[in-house]
Each structure stands twice: as structure tokens, then as C-alpha cells.
Amino acid sequence: MTPAGQQRLRDELRRLKDVESPQVSRDIGTARDHGDLSENAEYHAAKERQGMIMARVKYIEDVLSRAEVIDPTKLSGDRVKFGATVSLLNSDTEEKTAYQIVGPEEGDLKAGRISVASPLAKSLLGRGVGDEVTVHLPGGTRVYEILAVTFG
């Protein structure tokens, strides 16, 4: 995972523990004060939310404890690898795009980050500038030309 991805997860964990968990505990207390818990939808919704928060906290803690953090600014080379930002040309549409290859927890297509486990990233790994890559995606097959590989 990248340092930025690690920081995003730490921030989410802090928000879950410091803001959302105490809030849902207060919501449970308020709902409990309304009486009969067997038919109290507010109480059951708050308990369900508490369970989801606790599960997410455990998941993030596990991911962070096992994460290997790799700083892309310290990498270099002319081949696509984890942390690289790859500029691509879609051979069919002539559309140019750029994606940074990041850890599975960091993927965000709208932000230009794709998971190293994605079909596109897998087909790009080890390739260099000028290479054409055929990618089999759920929406069909696409051909990309690698225009640039940068780090940092």
C-alpha cells in the first residue's frame, strides 16, 4: 500500500473510533430510553450500525497490521510496477488516461487509482513505454498503448 493509502485508512479508523462509535452508542442509549426494545426500530437500526462500525474497525486494523507500505517517490524505472502512474492511450477511441497502480484497499477509479489486482493493472505490470496491452474487461476487450511510466 502507498503511504497516502495508509493515511486514508488511519484517518477512517480514527473517525470510526472517535466520532461514529460514540455517536452510535449515544443513539442506542436514546433509543433504549424509548421503552420496549422488541419493537423499537430505532434501537435495532442503531445496534446494526454499531455492528457494521465494529466490523469495519476490525477489518481496517487487520489491513493496517499486515500492510507493506511502499513509497512510490522512492521508486524509478521504465517498467510498470506497483506505485507507478501509467499514461495510456485507448487504441480504439484515442482517449488518453492515466492511472496510478495502488494496493487493493486504495483503488478509486474516479481518483485515477486502480488496484494492483485489477485486470488492467495485471496486464500492465512489467510492460514499458510503447507497449500495446490487450485487456479483457467485463465490458469487453480493450487495447491500450503505454505512453509514459512515472513514479512519485
CATH number of the domain within which 137 lies: 3.10.50.30
Q: Is 59 strand, coil or helix?
A: helix
Asked if residue 42 and residue 13 are part of one domain, the reply reads yes
pLDDT at 101 over 90: yes
Residue 99 has φ and ψ, to the nearest 5°, of -135, 140
36: domain range?
A: 3-66
Sorting pLDDT into bands at 50, 70 and 90, what band is 56? very high
Are 62 and 78 part of one and the same domain? no
Considering the entire predicted model, what is its pTM?
0.72
Q: How many domains does the chain have?
A: 2
The owner of cell 486494523 is 61
pLDDT for residue 13? 97
- Asked whether residue 109 falls in the same domain as residue 137, the answer is yes
CB 107 within 8 A of CB 125: no
Hey, is 2 helix, strand or coil? Answer: coil
* Same-domain status, 9 and 48: yes
